[in-house]
Structure 1
Amino acid sequence: MLVGAFSVSAFAQTATPNIDKREARQQKRIANGVASGELTAKETANLERREAKIEANEQAAKADGVVTKAERAKLQMQENRASAKIYNKKHNARTSN
């Protein structure tokens, strides 16, 4: 029974549900920008690379079994920057049409 409790505890330390939800929302924003023509192919590729880098950083943070408070803060900061980039790219004068 004690082993089961440890497994749940370890999972809770590596779970990043808020970051995962935010990544999903930002992917949806990028997809909407592509569909509406607000994002060019180059802008989209740049944003997708940024999102992939954040995902890689998240996996690296989880690799040792614990996502520390500092690692969460770093991921959150990266998400904040990515969100601002998405907004700026969607609202500049460039379009794919």
Structure 2
Amino acid sequence: MKTIPVLLSAVLLAAAGASFAQGVTATPRIDQREQRQEQRIQQGVGSGALTPWETYRLEKEQAHIGKAESRAKADGDVTPAERKRLTNMQNRASRDIRHQKHDRQAVPTKG
């Protein structure tokens, strides 16, 4: 009879450890911001505010951030310094998106 509580305790302890480990490497705020920036880029493409070259550069910048995030997660621990670096990279990307969408360059409309 004592085996069931011991087994249950072991399972709960393993689950708690797994959730703790996930919390250390999880970057939900960074991931959510990445998605919003991608949506902003696609909206700019759809509206004609972004030229193909601007889109290429912004997508390349997003890919660079994704690679940096993967490297930060590779050792199983995203440190505060790595989070700060990723946030700074995203801040820069956000400014770049805004700048490119609001400059006077646009895709010519077919008329």
TM bucket by the smaller chain?
over 0.9
1:59-78 matches, within 5 Å, as: 59-78=70-89
Higher relative contact order, chain-length normalized (CA < 8 Å, sep 6+)? 1
Quote the RMSD (CA, aligned, Å): 0.7
Q: Residue by residue, what CA displacement relative to the aligned partner does 1:37-89 show, whole Å, maximum 9, x if unpaired? A: 00000000000000000001001100000000000000000000000000000
Deviation >4 Å, runs of 4+: none
Picking from 14, 20, 36, the partner of 1:25 is 36
Which of 1 and 2 has greater Rg? 2
Q: 2:19 is matched with which residue?
A: 8
Q: Which runs of 5+ in 1 are unaligned?
A: none
Query: Displacement of 1:3 after TM fit?
Result: 2.3
Instruction: Give the alignment's TM-score, normalised by structure 1.
Output: 0.97
Percent identity, please: 47
Corresponding residue of 1:92: 103
Residue 43 of structure 2 is aligned to residue 49 of structure 1: no
Aligned residues: 97
Return the letter of the residue paired with 1:10: A
